[in-house]
Structure 1
Amino acid sequence: MSPRPSVLLLLLTSAAAPHALFAQTAPSTIVLDPVVLRAGTEKVASQVPQSVTVVDEAELNQIAPDNIGQVLDRVPGVAGVGSGSFFGQAFNIRGFGAGLAASESGIVQMIDGEEKYYESYRQGSLFVEPDFLKRVEVLRGPGASTLYGSGALGGVIAMETLEAADLIPEGAAQGGRVRLGYDTNPDSAFGSAIWGWRNDSGFEAVAGFALRKLGDSTDSNGDVIVRADSTTPNLLLKAKQSFGDHYVEASYQHLEAKGRDQDFNQLEGAQVGLFPGFPGWGVGDITTRDQTARLVWGYDPADPRINMKVTLSYTNTIKDVRQGDDPAEPIMSSLLGRRDYGLWKLKAQNVADLSSGAFSHFLTFGAETLWQDRTSSVTSSSHPEAKTRGAGIFALSEIEMDRLTVNTGLRYERQRTEPADSVTYSDDVVKSSSFEPQIALMYRLSDDLSVFGSLARVNRMPTVDELYDGFRGAAPSPDLRTEKGRNVEIGLSWTHQSDAGEAAAKLTLFQNRITDMIVRTDGVAPTPAYVNLDRATLRGGELEASWRSDAWTLAAAVSVVNGAFDDDDMPDGISLPNDRAVLSAVWDGGGAWRAGITSTLAAGRDKQDGTYRGGYGVHDIFAEWTPQDGAMAGTTVHLGIDNVTNRDYTPATWMTGPAPGRNVKLTLTRKF
């Protein structure tokens, strides 16, 4: 077994070379403590008694991501589970998320406030065009569940797309940008154009179109890992009209990918010979369609107690799988056909400002109801059809006094899940509920230093797969109890300014104890496909630290996660990530030039199957040129190289590997 880098060494290295509590808004302006979106009022990260990371538009441009996984890989406590493929993106937060169907149910994934729902076998969990994102906020741990949805044992990934104000120069009525790019691994090219308008009558709108031509991902030896060959257009439309105290807004996003001889298994590739006689998962002509639509009515009068919003939303993700052109690589008949994951949601909430002269107090309360349908054109015991109906109420109180912040929340949710007629081996209707209280405190010891702590209880209700899966002849599991998570966090938050520069750091220690954990048995009838375990415990820590001077920004993000399980075996829903440190240094040459390096240093990890994933070090570099005057003003040329040393490695959370080898990417952006 290879020697393992010490966790303590990772922590010491990061503390000595202070990822990022910084966010950059312009080539020459780094903002200490990024703004965190809250229901009551916007706050900076150091004032929030929770572990949260913000990746803003400037850092997104610096990463120049081909997929959302390249953004989240830099966030402490978050790890990729899928492949480097655009269609193989799945995630793990603090040990939750293992890449199989429904394993991300402990993570709430949202775009523009709307929850995404997708649970297909070995085909990723999230499809989003990263070029239209302006911000990604990751809230780690169950404390985020009050406002965003029950069952967030791991946390919340909240993505936001560009608004008109992000595109239009100050004082202008319209503005936008055009972008072209090329990557060597995967061999891909893309182009996008997005424009914003506004007028004096309270109207604003955004229209954007992006097109990606996606090829194969290869490892450090040049061997193909995953074939994602497809043409992938994406449409973004937004409009908002204000009428005095009222406003109405609507948005629609549509991604439509046409894959040709694409690997069915976008997480692991073909895997020919996985077991004796196995021909591989096969290749097919696969259509991926992802839609997000929302209609919002808002009312914000002069009365501070009223700031109301009602949202009707619809999201749907489909996979339509057909046989490819190569008869030597067939897809199993049970995996063919079209599968839809539709989710309607109606949500109403109000933010009441109850502040007085002695303290600020924001109370957010609301209710929502949802209709969730999972359908398939091909009957399969491993992918049961069902519909779920649910309703919930929630309230979050945020009180801030001179030195003390107190946040308390409560969410109650019920759901009813009913199998479709195609599920012939079970007609059980399952009703379940979730009661989720939380409290978080922060006390400012001084202007620079604060201590914080939180206690949250979360219940994750069983998913359709867990209730009705009959794969390999196992019995359905309608008697499953809800998973119960109790999460405790403590931490320190520190900011400081001096003549030498500005600094920020946030340290969080956590313990998440899960009882009645739902795990897969792989048994045959009468053994249920899923059962409850008594208890599992996850514990660890995260450190984010940054330091900035006039020309340099140094940053570090460290995450450590370990687990203890009652039967000494890791449950299927748990996949422990590498303990790792992400170190970065960015040089700003005064506006025209910027350059930087990001290094990921990961410790090795024992896997559930008894294997060992070795540690690794991977380095990414970039350089940007933004002319300040002349014909090229408003243009940015970005050159980046991911995995500069072409390192052969496999993250511990990946089901198989290896990760992609070196990738050279060139991006040209023009703003108008």
Structure 2
Amino acid sequence: MLTPLLRGTTALVCVPLGVALAAPVAAQEDPGFLGTLILTAGKRDLTFGTALPRTVVDEEEIQDRQASTVAQLIDSVPGVSLVNGTTPQGSGINIRGFGANTTFGSDQKIAVQVDGASVGSEELYRIGTQLFTDPLLYREVEVLRGTIGSFAYGSGIVGGVVKLETKDASDFTGGVPGFGGSQTFEYSSNGGGWVTSTNLAWMPTEQTEFLLNYSLRDQGDLEAGDGTTIGNSAFRTPSYLAKGKFTFGDSDAHSITLSHSRTEADDKDVLYDQFATDGGSFGNVDRLTDTRQTVLEYRFAPGNDLIDLRANLSYADQKIEYDYVPGSSPLEGTPSFPFLVGTVNADQRYETTKLTITNRSIFETGTVSHDLLAGFEIQRRERADNTAAGAPGGTNDRVALFVIDEMSIGQFTVTPAIRYESSKIDSATALTGVPNSYDSDALMGGLALAYDFGNGLSVFGSAAYTDGLPIIDDLGTSATAQRRINQSEKSRTYEIGAEYTGTDVFAAGDSLTVRGNYYDTDLYDITSYTVSGSTSVELRDVQSKGFELEASYGMANGTYVDFAGHRADGTEFNPDGTSAVWRNTAADRLQLTVGKKWDNWLDLSWEIVHSANRRDALRNDLADVTVHNLRATWRPQEGVLTGTEFRAGIENLLDEDYVGHLSSASRKAPGRTFKVSVTKSF
């Protein structure tokens, strides 16, 4: 219920230009529908006029960063940590201390969506977030931090939401009939990595478009800064994307979009444990990983303010097939081996089917202007029984209703958001002595207030409460499992901040945007984290606090400075009242980029990333580290090279030898890496 949200709260103040709690639903096609401004001073666009902590990595930055995984792409966002992130299978995303951890790739407290399809939600032992896909399939990656922007996407979201949007044919044809496309080749010196990505686009008419993408990424084992080989860091992943859109009706009011993306890997004699760099007790396996997402979306926008209807039907399917490699485990021949080989050989499959229907209406009641988003969602998650690997099978059916109403009154904006969700879990196998079916439901929501002073300065704040309903992983006959399947986790988050944007601030023609945000989260009634050293005694609660700062400054001559910083503090409390540093707390991080653009043909930049208060997976303290990255983008404007983009970069310029935050102690970060790529558009 909403009562816990309101306990002990006071009014918070926020920006009236648009709290944008519902912005992600329609922002792709109309980023300003809540009055939000997107200002570009440097590499990254900053959203001004929203209480929602939102960062967007656009297609240009995706290409400039030359990341091997999506997780590597977004770890530059304040509050985002990358756990064991050198391979698609092993990398995990942690936002504000929640998400991937040192044991599982997900704790259900962040949501990941590809074109609206829910992916990467399973608690797989020693496997990453399952965001198993290639960055070059996407035109945009959006990160929503915290709970306040999550009510259109799910329940129990504490860390945030990662939304990926695949490319469109119109991105290559300019939105006019004809053919278009691009070809990208990329090479990375560390690990001898290479990439080829081909886009073929066709618009036979202005109302019809088709896109095909094929990307192949290959990487050998990487080297750390000290020259040692980083084990278990090689991979080869082909990816595919097919997408079509048909627009029809009076004034093109109707549209249907169908997209299908797939990434697979057929790995031979590789480690079962994706977080480790040596085989350990588990040994090696032949592993086939196949991840697919199919999305069908219908939109009806007749041109009036009361109707903008979307129906999004999605299906996500991930299969992981294992075969143990004989002789690879040191436990082979011991009494423990039959149990271990049963775990290692256990195949896994996860399917999620979801229908989300939303409508956005804009209207007025007296002096109050409303921007109302209402939605209905029905979802079925099916998981094959895999008790040998600690993953019980079953189905989870959920139904949800949500309403988000942005109400503007002069310079004030008040945005209440509410979500009701019900859940039913059925076990795939008969459970002895306990029920085989479990029902639960919850009401959750938030409130954001905003005020715009009218001189470029805005203040904002929010309060949000969410309820994490039990999941299939909680099934079981033990007292611990029964406690977890019958209890939901809860959290409260309060945020407050300010932002300023202006032009001609220090010099004629310059622009400055600064945004600071403080958050305070309390997670309680915990079922997903246990006391250190125990597998059955849960923590009493977890408190996570932090301050995020983003800024961008650009001058008329093309010089720019981008800044992103995050300072975090977290505490976990045991039932006996003792406490310790929250094991998944994000590191303190400062990122500064200084660069210059010469119109659209040349962009040179120097990025400095400093991280402090770091720990490895075993909670051992790690030294502070500063990493330097250089990047250059050249776009010839005339001659035979017109339409070609050349990119070059040096990551970890000084060849620093270090272990990433929350990563396994044996998994060091990559050393100095030279990257070059060429993209030809046609």
* TM-score in terms of structure 2 length: 0.86
1:112 CA displacement: 1.2
The one-character-per-residue Cα deviations of 1:474-497 (angstroms, maximum 9, x if unpaired) are 765445421111110000011010
Q: Secondary structure of 1:60's partner? A: helix
Q: Secondary structure of 2:232's partner? A: strand
The one-character-per-residue Cα deviations of 1:617-638 (angstroms, maximum 9, x if unpaired) are 0111112222111111111111
Match of 1:390 among 387, 398, 407: 398
The one-character-per-residue Cα deviations of 1:281-301 (angstroms, maximum 9, x if unpaired) are 322221111110011222221
Partner residue in 2 for 1:353: 362
Q: Is the 8 A contact 1:82 1:91 kept in 2?
A: no
Partner residue in 2 for 1:551: 558
Partner residue in 2 for 1:8: none
Partner residue in 1 for 2:154: 149
Partner residue in 1 for 2:651: 642
Partner residue in 2 for 1:337: 346
Evaluate the alpha carbon distance shift between residue 251 and residue 599 of structure 1 in structure 2; reply closer, same or farther with a 3 A threshold.
same
1:164 CA displacement: 1.9
1:422 CA displacement: 7.1
Match of 1:264 among 272, 280, 285: 272
1:582 CA displacement: 0.8
Question: In structure 1, what residue type is equivalent to 2:150?
Answer: S
Asked if residue 322 in structure 1 is aligned to residue 327 in structure 2, the reply is no
Partner residue in 2 for 1:667: 677
1:42 CA displacement: 6.9
Question: In structure 2, what residue type is equivalent to 1:587?
Answer: K
The one-character-per-residue Cα deviations of 1:68-118 (angstroms, maximum 9, x if unpaired) are 122111000101122311221211111112143364310011111221133
1:531 CA displacement: 5.0
Match of 1:243 among 245, 248, 265: 248
Equivalence map 1:6-45=2 (5 Å): 41=34, 43-44=36-37, 45=47
Asked if residue 121 in structure 1 is aligned to residue 125 in structure 2, the reply is yes
Q: Is the 8 A contact 1:622 1:638 kept in 2?
A: yes
Question: In structure 1, what residue type is equivalent to 2:640?
Answer: A
The 2-side partners of 1:217 and 1:423 are apart by 46
Equivalence map 1:595-614=2 (5 Å): 595-605=604-614, 611-614=620-623
Partner residue in 2 for 1:26: none
Q: Is the 8 A contact 2:616 2:664 kept in 1?
A: no
Q: Is the 8 A contact 2:195 2:218 kept in 1?
A: yes
Evaluate the alpha carbon distance shift between residue 35 and residue 209 of structure 1 in structure 2; reply closer, same or farther with a 3 A threshold.
closer
Partner residue in 2 for 1:420: 428
1:302 CA displacement: 3.1
1:310 CA displacement: 1.5
Partner residue in 1 for 2:13: none
Q: Is the 8 A contact 1:496 1:503 kept in 2?
A: yes
Partner residue in 2 for 1:183: 188
Q: Secondary structure of 2:526's partner? A: strand
Q: Is the 8 A contact 2:176 2:206 kept in 1?
A: no
The 2-side partners of 1:644 and 1:333 are apart by 44
Equivalence map 1:466-485=2 (5 Å): 466-468=474-476, 477-485=483-491
Q: Is the 8 A contact 1:229 1:260 kept in 2?
A: no
Q: Secondary structure of 2:525's partner? A: strand
Q: Secondary structure of 1:333's partner? A: helix
Evaluate the alpha carbon distance shift between residue 230 and residue 79 of structure 1 in structure 2; reply closer, same or farther with a 3 A threshold.
closer
Asked if residue 447 in structure 1 is aligned to residue 452 in structure 2, the reply is no
Q: Secondary structure of 1:354's partner? A: strand
Partner residue in 2 for 1:518: 527
Q: Secondary structure of 1:142's partner? A: coil
Q: Secondary structure of 2:72's partner? A: helix
Question: In structure 2, what residue type is equivalent to 1:194?
Answer: N
CA RMSD in angstroms comes to 2.7
1:37 CA displacement: 7.0
Q: Which moved more, 1:41-50 or 1:206-215?
A: 41-50
Q: Which moved more, 1:537-546 or 1:654-663?
A: 654-663
Partner residue in 1 for 2:112: 109
Partner residue in 2 for 1:652: 661
Match of 2:379 among 364, 367, 370: 370
Asked if residue 627 in structure 1 is aligned to residue 636 in structure 2, the reply is yes
Q: Is the 8 A contact 1:467 1:476 kept in 2?
A: yes
Question: In structure 1, what residue type is equivalent to 2:565?
Answer: V
Q: Secondary structure of 2:632's partner? A: strand
Match of 2:467 among 455, 459, 480: 459
Evaluate the alpha carbon distance shift between residue 284 and residue 481 of structure 1 in structure 2; reply closer, same or farther with a 3 A threshold.
same
The 2-side partners of 1:356 and 1:208 are apart by 47
Question: In structure 2, what residue type is equivalent to 1:555?
Answer: D
The 2-side partners of 1:406 and 1:301 are apart by 28
The 2-side partners of 1:138 and 1:42 are apart by 19
Aligned length: 625
Evaluate the alpha carbon distance shift between residue 565 and residue 478 of structure 1 in structure 2; reply closer, same or farther with a 3 A threshold.
closer
1:168 CA displacement: 1.4
The 1-side partners of 2:325 and 2:32 are apart by 48
The 1-side partners of 2:35 and 2:89 are apart by 34
Unpaired runs of 5+ residues, structure 1, are 1-33, 273-279
Partner residue in 1 for 2:145: 140
Evaluate the alpha carbon distance shift between residue 164 and residue 400 of structure 1 in structure 2; reply closer, same or farther with a 3 A threshold.
farther
Q: Is the 8 A contact 2:616 2:659 kept in 1?
A: no
1:579 CA displacement: 0.6
Q: Is the 8 A contact 2:342 2:388 kept in 1?
A: no
The 1-side partners of 2:469 and 2:558 are apart by 50
Partner residue in 2 for 1:31: none
1:225 CA displacement: 2.3
Q: Is the 8 A contact 1:626 1:637 kept in 2?
A: yes
Q: Is the 8 A contact 2:151 2:402 kept in 1?
A: yes
* TM-score in terms of structure 1 length: 0.87
Question: In structure 1, what residue type is equivalent to 2:91?
Answer: Q
The 1-side partners of 2:48 and 2:414 are apart by 14
Q: Secondary structure of 1:518's partner? A: coil
Evaluate the alpha carbon distance shift between residue 589 and residue 523 of structure 1 in structure 2; reply closer, same or farther with a 3 A threshold.
closer
The 1-side partners of 2:477 and 2:89 are apart by 24
Q: Secondary structure of 1:144's partner? A: coil
Asked if residue 562 in structure 1 is aligned to residue 589 in structure 2, the reply is no
Equivalence map 1:176-255=2 (5 Å): 176-200=181-205, 202-244=207-249, 245-255=253-263
Match of 1:502 among 511, 516, 530: 511
Q: Secondary structure of 1:491's partner? A: strand
1:371 CA displacement: 0.8
Asked if residue 84 in structure 1 is aligned to residue 57 in structure 2, the reply is no
Partner residue in 2 for 1:7: none
Evaluate the alpha carbon distance shift between residue 600 and residue 468 of structure 1 in structure 2; reply closer, same or farther with a 3 A threshold.
farther
The one-character-per-residue Cα deviations of 1:296-317 (angstroms, maximum 9, x if unpaired) are 2222213321111112210011
The 1-side partners of 2:624 and 2:514 are apart by 26
Q: Is the 8 A contact 2:616 2:660 kept in 1?
A: no
Q: Is the 8 A contact 1:36 1:54 kept in 2?
A: no
1:150 CA displacement: 0.8
The 2-side partners of 1:655 and 1:37 are apart by 42
Partner residue in 2 for 1:11: none
Question: In structure 1, what residue type is equivalent to 2:416?
Answer: T
The 2-side partners of 1:242 and 1:266 are apart by 44
The 2-side partners of 1:348 and 1:39 are apart by 22
Evaluate the alpha carbon distance shift between residue 340 and residue 252 of structure 1 in structure 2; reply closer, same or farther with a 3 A threshold.
same
1:466 CA displacement: 3.5
Q: Is the 8 A contact 1:225 1:268 kept in 2?
A: no
Q: Secondary structure of 1:317's partner? A: strand
The 1-side partners of 2:303 and 2:348 are apart by 47
Question: In structure 1, what residue type is equivalent to 2:36?
Answer: K
Evaluate the alpha carbon distance shift between residue 47 and residue 432 of structure 1 in structure 2; reply closer, same or farther with a 3 A threshold.
same
Partner residue in 1 for 2:53: 51
Percent identical among aligned pairs is: 27
Evaluate the alpha carbon distance shift between residue 258 and residue 288 of structure 1 in structure 2; reply closer, same or farther with a 3 A threshold.
same
Q: Is the 8 A contact 1:83 1:267 kept in 2?
A: no
Question: In structure 2, what residue type is equivalent to 1:294?
Answer: V
Q: Secondary structure of 1:468's partner? A: coil
Partner residue in 1 for 2:63: 61
Evaluate the alpha carbon distance shift between residue 426 and residue 356 of structure 1 in structure 2; reply closer, same or farther with a 3 A threshold.
closer
